[in-house]
Amino acid sequence: MGNVIILGSQWGDEGKGKIVDLFSDRFDIVARYQGGHNAGHTVFIGEKKFVLKLIPSGILRPGKKAVIGNGLVIDPVALVSEIESLESAGVEVTANLSISNRAHVLFPAHRMLEKMSEGRPGRVSLGTTSRGIGPCYEDKIARRGIRMADLLDTAFFRAQFDSVMEEKVAIARTFGIYQEMDLGRIREEYEALAERIRPMVCDTAMLLNHAIRDGKSVLFEGAQGTMLDVDHGTYPFVTSSSAGAGGACTGTGVAPTRIQGVIGVSKAYITRVGAGPFPTEALDGAGEQIRKRGNEFGAVTGRPRRCGWFDVPLLRYTAAINGFDSIVVTKLDVLDEFDRIPVCVGYRLGSEQLAEMPATVREIEKLEPIYECVPGWSTSTFGISSYDDLPAKAKEYLAFLEERTGVEIGCISTGPERTQTIVKAGSRLEKLIG
Ligand code: IMP
């Protein structure tokens, strides 16, 4: 059994949570490699609903280990609240979760500083989740961040916290975005949270490498999606981390030579939350119909998601960046009621037809999608769990996407439940997940 990365191939919210939860059964460890509590997916345990933001969903499978890698930024308040809500529902977290000692710690001042870029006159608002993710990664790259290992070193933490926060307060005052905060109280709160987290913090890179050496398998779970990757996405309308497959190595300390496959997750259509270019956005009634049928509202912020049609050139681009072996197409049933389904098969920029994704938002905003319409199936696919039971026209739609993107569709999701899934027999995906 190999080690596999599962990640989003669009702008996030592709339904990775369900897929990771489903496949985590086949792996020993599930490891998150980037992002923070800007991510979120909803999981039901019996009647109880949880929104997991930092903890990999593998934690819900008894006996499986979950890892929060060094590539994440962690708000200890959010983390401990997530741990406590899971433990109060009977999920064993403390014994099964390991947190990297090299992950960065997010503070309330990071949220305050996010107002520098969001909503200040003269700055382009990115429509972030306002969780302080970007400013925390800024500190990491500027080499003044506080890491988990520093938080646990109490004497060092006190001195470091005071000096870093003094700077943040000065910046916030200068730019007129300062919000009164009791830094002494925050420091004490973080010291108390550190004690709660301490038993779980370790060198997760060594933990993962030793586990792999001993024959254990790891599922690497990406958050957000490739088009939000800080290098490869629609910059600057991106998140601040490496959401693509490369991030799995830098964000966990596991080498590319130890990873056997990459699986992308894509909706049967496409959505985006927050600002930024979106060539196939459906601004008419069809977009609204998708939003309603797909319940397309953010799990973390509750914001309505922008909806549109499947974008073949975009998928070809993210397949190249990530080296997808196979993709999972989710939410096929959301398209059940459309007579004709437009699919973007190319882009035009002025008089040119483009083969590649342009680098700048200025160009992406000017792209004109070239659509081909595929007949709809006008019957319910909800809950179908066998490929043979799909309506012929739904199979044709999937075959069309497969042929145009050049990527295998190894799995199809037709509803939120684990059972509402088709894994195609003989596919590369089936071989990868064992
Ligand atoms: P940030 O990650 O909060 O800095 O937000 C940057 C951009 O990424 C915004 O457009 C957010 O809406 C988007 N974003 C962040 N996390 C997610 C996610 O989990 N799903 C979808 N979009 C996200």
In this structure, the answer to whether residues 309 and 418 fall within a common structural domain is yes
Domain count, the chain: 3
Which of 211, 238, 261 is at the close of a domain? 261
Residues 347 and 404 in one domain: yes
What would the pLDDT profile of 17-33 be if each residue is shown by its tens digit? 999 999 999 999 999 99
Q: In this structure, how many other beta carbons lie within 10 angstroms of the beta carbon of residue 231?
A: 14
Whether 104 sits among the annotated catalytic residues: the reply is no
> What pLDDT score does 338 carry?
97
Mean pLDDT of 134-148: 97
| Per-residue pLDDT band at 434 (split at 50, 70, 90) | confident
Among 281, 220, 289, which residue's Cα sits nearest to residue 250? 220
What 3-state DSSP class applies to 25? coil
Q: Which of 41, 104, 110, 232 is catalytic?
A: 41
- Are residues 333 and 255 part of one domain? no
> Residues 276, 254: one domain?
no
Statement: residue 300 has pLDDT above 90: no
Could you read off the pLDDT of 94-133 as tens digits, one per residue?
Answer: 999 999 999 999 999 999 999 877 777 777 888 899 999 9
Task: Write the residue with the smallest CA distance to atom 15 of ligand 1.
Answer: 38
Assess contact for 9 and 315: CB atoms under 8 A. yes
Cβ-based neighbours of 180, under 8 Å, separated by 6 or more: none
Residues 257 and 283 occupy one common structural domain? no
140 and 244: one domain? no
Torsion angle in degrees (nearest 10) through CA of 161, 164, 165, 167: 160
pLDDT in tens, 327-358: 999 999 999 999 999 999 999 999 999 988 99
Residue 399's pLDDT is 98
405 CB under 6 A from ligand 1? no
Q: Which pLDDT band, with edges at 50, 70 and 90, does 41 fall under? A: confident
Q: What is the mean pLDDT of the chain?
A: 95
Residue 323 belongs to a domain with what CATH number?
A: 3.90.170.10
Same domain assignment for residues 188 and 240: no
Count CB-CB contacts under 10 A for residue 32.
29
CATH code where residue 45 lies: 3.40.440.10
Domain of residue 305, residue span: 266-432
What's residue 355's pLDDT?
81
- We report the CATH number of the domain holding residue 179 as 1.10.300.10
Query: Both 218 and 165 in a single domain?
Result: no
pLDDT band at 46 (very low <50, low <70, confident <90, very high): low
Ligand 1, atom nearest to 301 Cα: 12
159 and 280 belong to one structural domain: no
**Token representation of residue 55:** 């903890």
* Displacement of CA 28 from its chain's centroid (Å): 21
Binned at pLDDT 50, 70 and 90, residue 193 comes out as: very high
| pTM of the complete model | 0.96
H/E element, 345: strand 340-349
Which parts of 53-117 are beta strand (E)? 65-68, 73-74, 97-100, 104-105
184: which 2 tokens? 């002494």
Mean pLDDT computed over 142-160: 96
Say which residue, 123 or 307, is predicted with more confidence: 307
Detail the DSSP E strand segments found in 72-170: 73-74, 97-100, 104-105
Of the candidates 296, 241, 238, the residue with the CA atom closest to the CA atom of residue 267: 296
Catalytic-residue membership of 182: no
Instruction: Give the residue among 62, 83, 65 at the shortest CA–CA distance from 74.
Output: 83
Query: pLDDT tens for residues 365-424?
Result: 999 999 999 999 999 999 999 999 999 999 999 999 999 999 999 999 999 988 999 999
Structure token digits, residue 434: 């064992």
Residues 392 and 34: their CA atoms lie apart, in Å, by: 39
Work out the burial of residue 38: count CB atoms within 10 Å of its CB; fewer than 13 is exposed, 13-18 middle, 19 or more buried.
buried
Task: Evaluate if residue 15 carries a pLDDT over 80.
Answer: yes
Q: Which of 243, 261, 279 is the last residue of a domain?
A: 261
Atom of ligand 1 nearest to the CA of 131: 3
Model confidence at 45, pLDDT cuts 50, 70, 90, reads: low
Q: What secondary structure letter does DSSP report for 147?
A: B
In this predicted structure, the answer to whether residue 140 has a pLDDT above a threshold of 90 is yes
Q: Mean per-residue pLDDT for 160-177? A: 92
- Measured at the CA of 61, the angle between CA 56 and CA 64, to 5 degrees, comes to 75
Domain stops at, among 172, 196, 220 = 196
pLDDT at 115: 82
Residues above pLDDT 70, as percent of the chain? 99
Mutate-to-test residue for ligand 1 from 38, 113, 130, 267, highest number of ligand atoms within 8 A of CB? 38
The neighbouring-strand residues paired with 44 are 49
79 & 109 share domain: no
Q: Is the same domain home to 137 and 247? A: no
Specify the ligand 1 atom closest to the Cα of 35. 2
Model confidence at 252: pLDDT above 70: yes
380 with 310, same domain?
A: yes
Please choose from 110, 131, 228 the residue to mutate so as to test ligand 1's pocket, defined by most ligand atoms within 8 A of CB: 228
- Please tell me if the CB atom of residue 13 comes closer than 6 angstroms to any atom of ligand 1: yes
> 35 has which bridge partners?
72
**Which CA distances in Å does 118 have to 123, 228, 231, 275, 276?**
7, 17, 20, 11, 14
Q: Is there a contact between 175 and 120 (Cβ–Cβ < 8 Å)?
A: yes
What are the distances in angstroms from CA 258 to CA 24, 282, 346, 379? Answer: 18, 41, 35, 44
